[in-house]
Amino acid sequence: MKDFFKNYFNGISQSVNLVKDEDLISIAKMIEGTSDNSRKLIIAGNGGSASMASHVCVDFTKAVGVRSVNFNEANLVTCFANDYGYEHWVSQALEAYADQGDLVILISSSGKSQNILNAAIRAKELGLSVVTLSGFDSNNPLRKMGEVNLWVDSDSYNFIEMTHHIWLLSLVDYLVERKRG
């Protein structure tokens, strides 16, 4: 236990650094294009990923000036899950809230959450751009469903979620710096 924290933080650092700069730059350009075309950014996930979606939506809106939304209102989730089934509530929320040209970022640590997979399918049907963040199995189905797919090579939920969060917040900071010119 003596080196637990040192090893823990080294593991997170390694996960964070595995992302390709060109993938983050591609996502940043997609976000800028969405904003430049008066469209919005929609971010969705489950559990900790839903909390992350809330956090980064606020930062994209406030710090970057990109209109951003998530679907974390309890009444929306429970209404849509009750009426359409939990596996379809995110896709139905996209149906209700998305506009042509919006960008959707879908987060699932496992890459196997059926509601997020269905949302990716529906987003494509609606003509939306899709970015995915996942982890665990390198062959998870979500990892194949976006225009850009970020994946964390880990089997630890906390490593995956923290890595996703850092990557998303790095996009916020990158776009803030670009605006400063």
Task: Kindly state the percentage of the chain with pLDDT values over 70.
Answer: 100
Which pLDDT belongs to residue 17?
95
Burial status of residue 4 (CB atoms within 10 A of its CB: 0-12, 13-18, 19 or more): exposed
E-state strands within 38-171: 41-44, 68-70, 103-108, 129-134, 148-151
d(CA 25, CA 31): 10
What is the reported pLDDT for 1? 83
CATH number at residue 176: 3.40.50.10490
pLDDT band at 174 (very low <50, low <70, confident <90, very high): very high
User: pLDDT band at 176, cuts 50/70/90?
Assistant: very high
The predicted structure's pLDDT at residue 66: 97
Q: What is the pLDDT of residues 39-67, one digit of tens each?
A: 999 999 999 999 999 999 999 999 999 99
How many domains does the chain contain in total? 1
* Per-residue pLDDT tens digits for 78-112: 999 999 999 999 999 999 999 999 999 999 999 99
User: Using an 8 Å Cβ cutoff, are 170 and 161 in contact?
Assistant: no
What is the pLDDT confidence band of residue 13, given thresholds at 50, 70 and 90? very high
Q: pLDDT tens for residues 128-160?
A: 999 999 999 999 999 999 999 999 999 999 999
Q: Which helix (H) or strand (E) holds 137?
A: none
The candidate with the shortest Cα–Cα distance to 104, out of 135, 143, 130, is 130
Domain, as residue range, for 35: 4-180
